[in-house]
Amino acid sequence: MSVLPLVSAVIIFRDAEPFLGQAIESVLWQTYPRWELLLVDDGSTDGSGVVARGFAARYPAEIRYLRHDDGGNQGMSASRNLGIRQSRGELVAFLDADDVWFPRALEEQVALLQRYEDAAMVYGPLTWWYGWTGAPEDQGRDHVENLGVPPDTLIPPPTLLPLFLLDRAAVPSGMLVRRTAIDRVGGFEEAFRGEYEDQVFCAKLCLDLPVFASGRSWYRYRQHPGSAVAVGHRTGQTHTARIAFLTWLRGYLRERDESDAAVWRALRHELRRATHPRRHRALTRIERVARRVTSRG
């Protein structure tokens, strides 16, 4: 009987006291037996560290509490990289501190990576989770996002990148990644800080390596007003972060001498839309009229 691979789960957190315990418990409830959990404190000032250290004390064989050398806030990418460096598993999973896994998430994801040996990672659609509040108006609002690609498919590189750039496919989330793939792309980009840090990592990985898109949802994505995404939309920071991400990606592609036409078309389209929204809308209208005229001719 072969030994099951060790999965290293990484939860980074900063001032996540209201939800962190539930995220950790969803790892404890996994039906997959071989996992370790690394809790990375990114400079919390609330009771999050107490919660994390409490779990680490109760489960010392499975759970470790980590923090940066200076105890401060180094950002999401640096925190995830710290967890990766300290991990022992050949497979690495990432869970946000305000979200939870379904109980069979690791069991089913590991089975898929064992079956599809060429896949660098496996991911599935998120379940948008409103019902956690228990409020009557939130009951029934939970839904599974549109994957945007055929489910249960091994997607060759760089097919997925232009699709999620153009918002035609979901950005990979709730993913289980081979450690060798993380090392190959250099982990998370610590120089990039902002709302799109996950997309920076996914862009690097999807550009180089095949990924498996499952139709199964393993991840509950909690909807609440204090989330980074919700705050970004309220303050307008999301738009600024989007431009920063696209600008970073343009530089990354140039450094690599990337030649894929579909990737460049998608990037230029999104940069034009983000930096010149009025001009983009005008060009879009002109292109639609031109297509109608051409089709009639």
Is residue 262, in this structure, part of any structural domain at all?
no
Q: From first to last of its 297 residues, what are the pLDDT tens digits of the chain? A: 468 999 999 999 999 999 999 999 999 999 999 999 999 999 999 999 999 999 999 999 999 999 999 999 999 999 999 999 999 999 999 999 999 999 999 999 999 999 999 999 999 999 999 999 999 999 899 999 999 999 999 999 999 999 999 999 999 999 999 999 999 999 999 999 888 999 999 999 999 999 999 999 999 999 976 545 544 445 556 789 999 999 999 999 999 999 999 999 999 999 999 997 554 443 444 444 444 444 455
Domain span including residue 136 = 7-225
Which pLDDT score, from 0 to 100, does residue 68 have? 97
Is residue 274, in this structure, part of any structural domain at all?
no
Which pLDDT score, from 0 to 100, does residue 287 have? 41
Is residue 246, in this structure, part of any structural domain at all?
no
**Residue position matching structure tokens 């404190």:** 41
Count structural domains, the chain: 1
Is residue 287, in this structure, part of any structural domain at all?
no
Is residue 233, in this structure, part of any structural domain at all?
no
Which pLDDT score, from 0 to 100, does residue 276 have? 77
Is residue 196, in this structure, part of any structural domain at all?
yes
CATH number at residue 178: 3.90.550.10
Is residue 72, in this structure, part of any structural domain at all?
yes
Strand partners, 127: 144, 220
Is residue 87, in this structure, part of any structural domain at all?
yes
